[in-house]
Chains A and B, each alone.
Chain A
Amino acid sequence: MIGAISAPVIIEACKNNSVADSNTSGTAGTNTSTNGTCSIAPTETEGPFPTKVPTSYVRSDITDGKTGYKLTAKITIGNLNNSCAGLAGAIVDIWHCDAEGNYSEYGGTSLQSTNYQSVHFLRGRQTTDANGLVTFTSIFPGWYSGRATHIHVHVYNAAGTSLKVTQIAFPEGAGTGVALVNGYSKGMNGYTYNNADNIFSDDKTGLEIAAVNGSLTPGFDLTFKLNVSA
């Protein structure tokens, strides 16, 4: 601050020496005094200057260093009020658990702190393109007690108003991703299949089940169409 204020004063002083009839330097300032408050004033070069940044959810690759079999999730948002045609400009959040079945999260009022570099792993946000499509790169989710493999989805309109909160289920049986990944190191002992899952068990026609193709290497492709009223 001191440097910024004093520089123009010096320039004006030089002008005064060379232009004899000028007797006003600078213009009246508008800053009021904060002198006398009991604090140390910052005495450093200003900066780094903040710039507006989007929420850290906004990225296509949500892996954040989490290991697992690659999964590319292609989710298309359709508009029920427009014959389910692709909805452009919708905001799509997804989140799911890691290979061990854990989510990135903390809560409550404990003093637990978090490193800011990788705190929101396996969570992402994208805006749909002209065809209503968003694509995320992630890992095949693991599982945890009481639930079938799933991905959470929250769809908003462009203004951020919630249109749909739902979950995507995975196909099961021989040769499917769920069978091939085989619960990672946990295995499948104690696994909850879709027909016993408290979210998916009422989905008798498979509306909530994505198409998942591929193999452990190079990975799996998930495609899902989700229709909302927009």
Chain B
Amino acid sequence: MPKNVITLCYRKIIDTTSINHWDKFVHEDSFTEFRMQSQLYNTEQKYQTFAELLLNAEGAEKLHFLVSAAITGYLRQLNGIIPDILDQLGRRFLTFEHFKFEIINSDINDISKHKVAINFFSKPLVWHNTINNMLLVSQYTAIAAEETFTNLFQIQPFVSIHSIKNID
């Protein structure tokens, strides 16, 4: 039977409605960094919003990257575990090394407009089966074991299959 190895992407949205400490730190610190770094592209202080900067200021798309330094310290605090996404047993089970930070919207004068996303890309998983609306997966290892421990989980909003590779 062909075996599919997948990676998942969880796009975690953080805005002013986020309530837990980690999310709040990410929200506040990315806003502070946005205000600082955006000045590179806003020397005449003509623009207020990220959308205006993207539209009018050359190179402003680099702000996604430049602002991401404000949050990499918080990523380290996760110890390689993707937050929020649980298996059927209620445990976080996805691990990551790769991410992509995005500014969705922001306004240098209004933190309530500041909305960002962290895309977490999971380490490879073997997709064994689909049971009802759930996927049965296990951590991918180069050497297949006789018995593999698995996780059963449901695809939920803001979680998607990011890549797929067929290995026979």
A-to-B contact residues, CB < 8 Å: 39-44, 48-57, 91, 105-109, 111-117, 119-120, 123, 154, 156, 160-162, 165
Closest 5 CB pairs of A and B: A43-B90, A53-B73, A162-B39, A113-B98, A50-B22
Q: How far is the CA of A17 from the CA of B51 in the complex (A)?
A: 64
- Jot down 13 A-B pairs with beta carbons below 8 A, ordered by A: A50-B21, A53-B25, A56-B69, A105-B65, A107-B59, A109-B61, A113-B98, A115-B98, A117-B76, A120-B72, A156-B36, A156-B39, A162-B40
* Contact with B77, one of A51, A54, A161, A162 (Cβ below 8 angstroms): A51
Are B43 and A165 touching (Cβ within 8 A)?
Answer: yes
Q: Which of A41, A107, A108 has the most CB of B within 10 A?
A: A107
**Chain A's nearest CB lies how many Å from the CB of B5?**
17
B99 at the interface (CB under 8 A from A): yes
Q: How far is the CA of A160 from the CA of B86 in the complex (A)?
A: 39
B-to-A contact residues, CB < 8 Å: 21-22, 25, 29, 32-33, 35-36, 39-40, 43, 59, 61-62, 64-66, 68-70, 72-79, 86, 88-92, 97-100, 119, 121, 156, 162
* Contact with A105, one of B33, B62, B89 (Cβ below 8 angstroms): B62
* Contact with A55, one of B65, B73, B75, B76 (Cβ below 8 angstroms): B73
Are B100 and A115 touching (Cβ within 8 A)?
Answer: no
Are B72 and A160 touching (Cβ within 8 A)?
Answer: no
User: A113's closest neighbor in chain B, by CB?
Assistant: B98
Are A42 and B90 touching (Cβ within 8 A)?
Answer: yes
Task: List the A side residues contacting B72 at CB < 8 Å.
Answer: 56, 116, 119-120
Q: How far is the CA of A113 from the CA of B66 in the complex (A)?
A: 14
Q: How far is the CA of A49 from the CA of B97 in the complex (A)?
A: 20
User: B84's closest neighbor in chain A, by CB?
Assistant: A42
Decide: A106 near B65, CB < 8 A? Known: A41-B90, A111-B162, A116-B72. yes
**Chain B's nearest CB lies how many Å from the CB of A115?**
5
Q: How far is the CA of A165 from the CA of B41 in the complex (A)?
A: 10
Are B69 and A50 touching (Cβ within 8 A)?
Answer: no
